[in-house]
Structure 1
């Protein structure tokens, strides 16, 4: 068996970055992590988590999540409500479209303050 344990994502402001993603995905708030609580994590399903670690110049990350249709619609609603630009094309994350040209039921891409590309598909 191979199962994902966690993803590490660098951020300038780890608490704010973790809160942003948790809010958009509709997850519980982030919790401090690490010996000095200098990191924050958000928990996903099946024991998997996203760990935000501090960096003055974060390296680019592209992370994709697969969700069910109801959660997808909720995520799109939260992106709209918060005024976060999104789109269904990784090269055009501002077109506000959700159709999945790859054949799924829906797909959106959006960026956070550190320039990471987040993707949600169903």
Structure 2
């Protein structure tokens, strides 16, 4: 496999019923900021420079996507506390079969939850 060090993921579009609600939900859980609107998009930037650009989309056109965020142990604890404070249902697995649990396999912790538009969000710690 050839690795091209000059290739970076810059952004991805997150289709949402309400871009403001979804962007602010995620930013709040992760302790990030919602950037200024750019055209039809409302961006939330991550530490590695990738933005999630939230866009209004009719609900019937939204297909569930999965977004995983690698976080420190400390950030996991803070974000997890925010999920619990807000009463957000979380799961230990991507298939949502283990509600109210944290995945603690392989020396990592992980948790899955849905955003307001039904996208699967994942927080996981490094090994």
Give TM-score scaled by structure 1 length: 0.88
Secondary structure of 1:119 counterpart: strand
User: 1:25 aligns to what?
Assistant: 30
Deviation at 1:30, TM superposition (A): 4.0
**Aligned partner of residue 90 in structure 2, secondary structure:** coil
| RMSD after superposition | 1.5
2:109 aligned to 106, 110, 116, which one? 106
CA distance, structure 2, for counterparts of residue 104 and residue 53 of structure 1? 36
Q: Deviations over 1:82-116 (max 9, x none)?
A: 10000111122662222333x14200000012110
Matched positions, count: 118
Unaligned runs of 5+ in 1: none
How far off its partner does 1:6 sit? 1.0
CA distance in 1, matches of 2:12, 2:24: 16
The answer to whether residue 53 in structure 2 is matched with residue 48 in structure 1 is: no
Determine if contact 2:93/2:103 at 8 Å carries over to the other structure: no
* TM value normalised by structure 2: 0.85
Partner of residue 9, structure 1: 14
Which deviates further from its counterpart, 79-88 or 50-59?
50-59
